[in-house]
Amino acid sequence: MGPKHTLPGLPDLGRCLVMGVVNVTPDSFSDGGAWFDPDRAVEHGTRLVEEGADIVDVGGESTRPGAQRVSADEELRRVEPVVRELVARGAAVSVDTMRAEVAERAVEAGAVLVNDVSGGLADPAMARLVASSGVAYVLMHWRGHSHDMQSRAVYTDVVQEVLDELRDRMEAMISAGVDPGQIVLDPGLGFSKRPEQAHNWALLHHLERFHELDRPVLVAGSRKRFLSRLLGDPEGGDRPFTGCDAATAAVTTLAADRGAWAVRVHDVRPNADAVRVAAAWADGGASLDEGRAEPVNRGGL
């Protein structure tokens, strides 16, 4: 197990947290369009909490490989009402955005975490917003926007280079006024990481090395192509994304055992079960109450 960290505004449950994904987009890689309607997105987020999500991550811009950016106005139109309503229902909400303007409005609406896949590189104003708001902040390893990120997936030593680049970005954010205690690090599985070169597996195999940076680590591998490629289909192609949920739960169990602070997933219930199994295994059941973990639905909504 990794070091324990407490983050402002976020639950501290003594185990790996589960972040459930709500994509308010028409084109996300695994569920684009399913929750594009705001009311459906809110109901989906509510259901994820009922299934065991500790945090609900709301995003209005697809970051799948090849995706083109939407305008800030459109991104705001998509996410702000969903964030506001989920907060009103008692959820701990994260906003998945690279834009400081969108992050600011989401925080004003009650979001307690900004999940920035660009690590502050896409918008120079992000560091100031995070510093002034005091909100928790996910800083992901990133080498470029979705339309060309895979062309930048060139490494001599992927683990060392990702570690060094994350350290550099963290130091830059701290220099800009962000408190180190606000920061969560994400090695960026699938972002400028080639599945055919096993970049993502190398990062997972060496996940414990990221504890060298003394910050909590988020693992976001759910339904990503490196799982699809690993499992395959009978015709020799990649398995469909939605056929990778059991593999995602396996990644969750192993990541939790290796000290991940949280996992970001699409199918919440099996991953909520997985983190409880990992926690009970890790301490030999010492944290259980008459053999029981805390129930999946804690009645927050």
Q: List, as one string, the DSSP characters of 224-268.
A: -HHHHHHH--TTSSPPPGGGGHHHHHHHHHHHHHTT-SEEEESSH
90 secondary structure, DSSP code: T
Q: Which of 224, 239, 258, 269 is catalytic?
A: 224
Q: Give, in order, the Cα–Cα distances in Å from 258 to each of 59, 140, 233.
A: 27, 19, 29
* Within-domain flag for 164: no
H or E segment to which residue 167 belongs? helix 158-175
pLDDT confidence tier of residue 5, bands split at 50, 70 and 90: confident
> Cα separation of 298 and 149, whole Å?
39
Residue 37 pLDDT greater than 90, yes or no: no
pLDDT confidence tier of residue 301, bands split at 50, 70 and 90: low
Q: Are 106 and 95 in contact (CB under 8 A)?
A: yes
* Within-domain flag for 277: no
What percent of the chain has pLDDT above 70? 92
* Within-domain flag for 42: yes
Take residue 194 and report the two structure tokens written for it: 């080639």
**Number of CB atoms found within 10 A of residue 214's CB:** 13
* Within-domain flag for 84: yes
Q: Which of 78, 84, 223, 264 is catalytic?
A: 264
Nearest partner of 217 among 275, 266, 262, 161, judged by Cα: 262
| pLDDT tens track for 192-215 | 999 999 999 999 999 999 999 999
pLDDT confidence tier of residue 270, bands split at 50, 70 and 90: very high
Residue 171 pLDDT greater than 60, yes or no: yes
Q: What is the pTM of this model?
A: 0.93
* Within-domain flag for 278: no
Q: Domain total for the chain?
A: 1
Residue 194 designated active-site: no
* Within-domain flag for 263: no
| 242 Cβ contact partners less than 8 Å away, ≥ 6 residues apart | 30, 223
Q: List, as one string, the DSSP characters of 44-83.
A: HHHHHHHTT-SEEEEESS--STTPPPPPHHHHHHHHHHHH
Residue 135 burial class via C-beta count within 10 angstroms: exposed 0-12, middle 13-18, buried 19 and up: buried
* Within-domain flag for 101: yes
> Cα separation of 202 and 120, whole Å?
24
Structural domain harbouring 95: 15-106
Domain CATH number, residue 91: 3.30.750
Residue 57 pLDDT greater than 80, yes or no: yes
Look at residue 66 in the predicted model and tell me its pLDDT: 65
| pLDDT tens track for 64-110 | 676 677 899 999 999 999 999 999 999 999 999 999 999 999 999 99
Look at residue 206 in the predicted model and tell me its pLDDT: 98
Residue 264 designated active-site: yes
43 secondary structure, DSSP code: H
